Amino acid sequence: MGSNMTNDNKALEQAVLNALRTVNDPDLNKDIVALNFVKDLKIDNGVVSFTIELTTPACPVKNEMEQWARNAVLGVEGVRDVQIKMTSAVSHGRAAAGKQAIEGVKNIIAVGSGKGGVGKTTVTVNLAVALAQSGAAVGLLDADIYGPNVPLMMGIEGRPHAIEDRIQTLSNYGVRVMSMGFLTGDDTPLIWRGPMLHSVIQQFIRQVDWGELDYLLIDLPPGTGDVQLSLTQTVPLTGAIVVSTPQDVALLDARKAIQMFRQVHVDVLGIVENMSYFQCPHCNKRTHIFSHGGGAATAAKYDVPFLGEVPINVSIREGGDAGKPVVAMEPDSPVAQAFVQVAERTAAQVSIANMNNQNTMTIE
């Protein structure tokens, strides 16, 4: 009898796995069994339990995937109940030839723009906080040496200290932060040439104790200068995000940023259109102050993902000035949800890039 029960369980287990093969990750374009997402499958008297381990806690279809899996398994004859645990293990970016990885950091994402004034730092800060709120371990390096605004926007004051020659980060909202703004006065100008910039950037990368991170976001200075080249040539970036506004002049510079990243062989994870529209708080009517749709059109033209639109909103500006990112202070607001959507799509693109790189290495 025990042998028959074992055989019955094996047959039911196979039927359950076959059912789960119908559940696809829409971003990775494979089923969750092939992706090895299904862990710890157990069957006890018709009760099926298993874990779905995603590649990021910020998966945009996390809840839907759980429901798809539940429905699929409940449709198997002999199943009385389904118990699913959702977890995640963020995938690693690939180490590149001649580029030294940062110890403990899985993925390094540069956030750039072709020009200043497009809200790149605001997007980076809210993106970092949104990823941290999803459950990911997140760091933020403010590489805008000449205009380090991250400390103000993250509401962090103080000076970092060192432990055994390793500079310790400062933290807020679950994000570990390092910035030149911690080391200089608010009104101290920095007049540095290329070699000095390269040196301080390398110190922030190599001599800072970042701990174990799923994502390290690097807020680049605007343009395509020394800091950008120093980073892309020495750090194994998982990819880059380009921030623009809808105006033609901003999009022109965004295209230059895309081309720069491609010339140094860095994947462009996508474009974010900031200040995309103004939504009236009284009538909910949208007004496209700076035109509209240019970000999506540019993404399509250069064959890169479009990560989303962020509206122009007074709470974003007030939150940035007060060190209270809107994602943290008004998490349920439409504007915060716009940043969350960008964070989820970014996490999905990181997982796609890592899977593609893994496949490339396997083929090679």
- CATH number, position 198: 3.40.50.300
Considering the domain architecture, whether residues 175 and 311 belong to the same structural domain is answered as yes
Residues 62 and 134 in one domain: no
Distances in Å between the alpha carbon of 32 and those of 132, 173, 217, 285? 25, 32, 28, 41
Looking at the fold, whether 188 and 48 belong to one and the same domain comes out as: no
Q: DSSP characters for 60-85?
A: TTHHHHHHHHHHHHHTSTT--EEEEE
Q: 27: domain range? A: 2-88
- Whether the CB-CB separation of 113 and 120 falls below 8 Å is answered with yes
Q: Are residues 83 and 117 in the same domain?
A: no
Residue 169 and residue 20 in one domain: no
pLDDT of residue 55: 93
Residue 93 inside a domain? The answer is no
Q: How confident is the model at residue 336 (pLDDT cuts 50, 70, 90)?
A: very high
- Does residue 164 share a domain with residue 59? no
pLDDT tens digits, one per residue of 89-127: 998 887 665 677 888 999 999 998 877 778 899 999 999
Q: Are residues 135 and 264 in the same domain?
A: yes
Q: Is 14 domain-assigned? A: yes
Can you give the CATH number for the domain in which 10 is found? Answer: 3.30.300.130
* Residue 52 domain flag: yes
Look at residue 97 and tell me if it is in a domain: no
Place of tokens 């449709």: 75
Could you give the CA distance from residue 2 to residue 329 in angstroms, rounded to a whole number? 57
Residue 288 within a domain: yes
Task: Verify that 69 and 174 share a domain, yes or no.
Answer: no
pTM summary value: 0.89
Of 88, 117, 150, the residue at which a domain comes to its end is: 88
Same domain, residue pair 213 and 340 = yes
Nearest Cα neighbor of 207 from 172, 175, 166 is 166
pLDDT attached to residue 330: 93
In a domain, 144, yes or no: yes
Query: 203-234: per-residue pLDDT in tens?
Result: 888 889 999 999 999 998 876 666 777 777 78
Distance CA 256, CA 248 (A): 13
Q: Which of 38, 59, 88 is the last residue of a domain?
A: 88
Residues 139 and 25 in one domain: no
Structural contact between residues 32 and 69, judged by C-beta atoms closer than 8 angstroms: yes
Residue 311 placed within a domain: yes
**Residues comprising the chain, all counted:** 364
Number of domains comprising the chain? 2
Does 282 reside within a domain?
yes
Furthest C-alpha separation in the chain: 82
For residues 195 and 79, membership in a common domain is answered with no
- 157/74 same-domain check: no
